[in-house]
Amino acid sequence: MDSIISQLTEFKTQIDELMARIDIGGKARLIASLEAQASQGDFWNDPATAQRTMQQIAKLKTLVDDWRALADRIQDALELSEIADADMQAELETETETLGELVEAMSLKAMLSGDYDSEDAIFAIHAGAGGVDAQDWAEMLERMYLRWIEQNGYKAEVLDRSGGDEAGLKSVTVSVKGDYAFGYLQSEEGVHRLVRLSPFDSARRRHTSFAKVELWPDIQTAIEIEVADKDIRIDTFRASGAGGQHVQKNDTAVRITHSPTGIVVQCQNQRSQAQNRDRAMQILKARLFEMERAKQEAEMAELKGENVDAGWGNQIRSYVLHPYQMVKDHRTSVEIGNTTAVLDGNLNDFIDAYLRHKISG
């Protein structure tokens, strides 16, 4: 029985720490605050906002109830084990095994408990230093992520794509729809480095290329950010991608430049200029929102005396194809020798390790 008590005590400590880390108490207080708003007589005057609030309440309630139910179940089993006799040992062993599985499952959920982890995502890939090799590398990354998206049941939509001068691409922006798309893909944000024998070098010398991945939560109309007309310039041009005769014959593609930040957003996949403009504005707001969120997190970390990364432009992962084959993540030290599998979209080992590293850090 001592072994069972020890295991249950360990489970209780683990769950208590995770509940504190993801602030279940704070989420419970937020539910109370939102429910107070929902009880006001004018709450449904704005149906869209009210609906989003009710959805937020439902999501938070499910989260809080699941964590508290598991904590209570562990506590009940622990109290019972302390007074149980030998006849109940088999039953308690079965319950302890079940609770262990539940604790593991909830630990995984804890890794995706951020405010926007459950949202859709927008990511962009930009070729960096390395000329045509870097543009080819950016296209290899695009293929890798599109494979991962397909393999994991998400839906991808290419919003804008700029081809390379000789091969590959200069940049691409992709929308990813599905539960926790942003939460899982956050591990990919940063600079990716490729080392290989260049297929574009007649001497077949080894080249190093770089590409940058950016990521934002795609929360669209829920983003309450005002963008003044005087701060943006809107240009239209003919879409270069597939889309039928309408896209090919008219200036349907839209480019929005945000003067205060220098952010440039393009969208060309929609059927009309108005649709492309609306989607480009959504992407711009998502980028401004993420920029502000990152700034606030950096300021809070600095106040706490934590180590603040000056930016996410640092190299996060290396893909070495010559003189040996290895993909290594520099944040978690995870290494995979099967580079073909990784470039075919098998990224979950890297994603899982990053999320575990994040929640334990």
Residue reference for tokens 């929640």: 359
30-64 pLDDT, tens digit each: 999 999 999 999 999 999 889 889 988 998 898 89
Say whether pLDDT at 331 is over 70: yes
Strand order in the sheet with 253-258: 232-237, 253-258, 263-267
Check if the beta carbon of residue 320 is closer than 8 Å to that of residue 312.
no
Distance CA 139, CA 145 (A): 10
User: Mean pLDDT, to the nearest integer, of 109-137?
Assistant: 88
Please identify, among 95, 110, 125, the residue that sits at the C-terminal boundary of a domain.
110
Pair 45, 187 in one domain: no
221-239 pLDDT, tens digit each: 555 678 889 999 999 888 7
Pair 332, 285 in one domain: yes
pLDDT tier at 299 (50, 70, 90 boundaries)?
A: low
**Which CATH number characterizes residue 80's domain?**
1.20.58.410
* Domain containing residue 13: 2-110
> What size, in residues, is the chain?
361
- The SS3 assignment for 261 reads coil
Pair 85, 124 in one domain: no
Pair 127, 209 in one domain: yes
Q: Report which of residues 157 and 314 the model is more confident about.
A: 157
Antiparallel, parallel or unpaired: β 315-320 and 190-197: parallel
Pair 56, 94 in one domain: yes
Position 272: which residue type?
A: S
Q: Which of 214, 200, 186 is nearest to 135 (CA)?
A: 200
User: Mean pLDDT, to the nearest integer, of 122-140?
Assistant: 93
Pair 105, 133 in one domain: no
Which of the 8 DSSP states describes residue 324?
Answer: S
Pair 244, 326 in one domain: yes
Which of the 8 DSSP states describes residue 314?
Answer: S
Distance CA 35, CA 133 (A): 55
CA distances from 349 to 107, 184, 262, 332 (A): 16, 11, 36, 11
Pair 101, 140 in one domain: no
Distance CA 165, CA 271 (A): 26
Check residue 242 and give its pLDDT.
44
Please identify, among 79, 110, 141, the residue that sits at the C-terminal boundary of a domain.
110
Range from 78-82, 144-148, 349-353 that averages highest in pLDDT:
144-148
Distance CA 296, CA 187 (A): 20
Pair 122, 230 in one domain: yes
Distance CA 277, CA 267 (A): 7
Check if the beta carbon of residue 170 is closer than 8 Å to that of residue 153.
no
Check if the beta carbon of residue 319 is closer than 8 Å to that of residue 194.
yes
Pair 190, 339 in one domain: yes
Split into its structural domains, the chain has a count of 2
Pair 171, 80 in one domain: no
Check residue 248 and give its pLDDT.
45
Please identify, among 94, 110, 126, the residue that sits at the C-terminal boundary of a domain.
110
Check residue 220 and give its pLDDT.
56
3-16 pLDDT, tens digit each: 899 999 999 999 99
Pair 268, 138 in one domain: yes
Q: What percent of the chain has pLDDT over 90?
A: 57
**Which CATH number characterizes residue 184's domain?**
3.30.70.1660
Distance CA 188, CA 144 (A): 11
Distance CA 125, CA 121 (A): 13
> Quick check: pTM over 0.85?
no
Position 85: which residue type?
A: D
236-280 pLDDT, tens digit each: 888 765 444 334 446 788 999 999 999 999 898 877 889 899 888
Q: Which residues of 187-214 are buried (b: 16+ CB within 10 A; e: fewer)?
A: bbebbbbbbbebeeeeeeeebbbbbbbb
